[in-house]
Amino acid sequence: AQTVTQSQPEMSVQEAETVTLSCTYDTSESDYYLFWYKQPPSRQMILVIRQEAYKQQNATENRFSVNFQKAAKSFSLKISDSQLGDAAMYFCAYRSAGFGNEKLTFGTGTRLTIIP
């Protein structure tokens, strides 16, 4: 079974600075998807960024980028120019690319605080 580990329960960053959230995962599969979801106090789960395992290029979405290290099974999220609206819980998630196994497995989350 796949597992996702987020070792940082809480992180804080000064507004406009850069912060990196860590995520590691364990799998025996070669093809899969990785995601970062944001959950603000409104509790809505919002997709931040996704990465296909077969793509070597790291995904980017505006101020959000990932560092995907497949051999190390590491998938960190970098937030540049942090803004107050980035304050939220961030969840790393894994999904198999194989047909018949559609479940999304989540890490325990990292609570990000933005310091004005």
Partner 1 sequence: DAGVIQSPRHEVTEMGQEVTLRCKPISGHDYLFWYRQTMMRGLELLIYFNNNVPIDDSGMPEDRFSAKMPNASFSTLKIQPSEPRDSAVYFCASSLRGQESVYTFGSGTRLTVV
Contact residue for partner 1 among 28, 41, 42, 62 (CB under 8 A): 42
Helix locations, 1-116, DSSP H: none
Residue 16 binds partner 1 (CB under 8 A): no
Q: Binding to partner 1 (CB under 8 A): which residues in 59-88?
A: none
The strand ranges marked E within the chain are 3-5, 10-14, 19-21, 24-26, 32-39, 46-52, 60-61, 64-69, 74-79, 88-96, 104-106, 110-115
Residue 106 binds partner 1 (CB under 8 A): yes
Any idea how long the chain is? 116
Residue 50 binds partner 1 (CB under 8 A): yes
Residue 5 binds partner 1 (CB under 8 A): no
- Rule CB under 8 A: which residues touch partner 1? 33, 42-45, 47, 50, 91, 95, 97, 99-100, 102-109
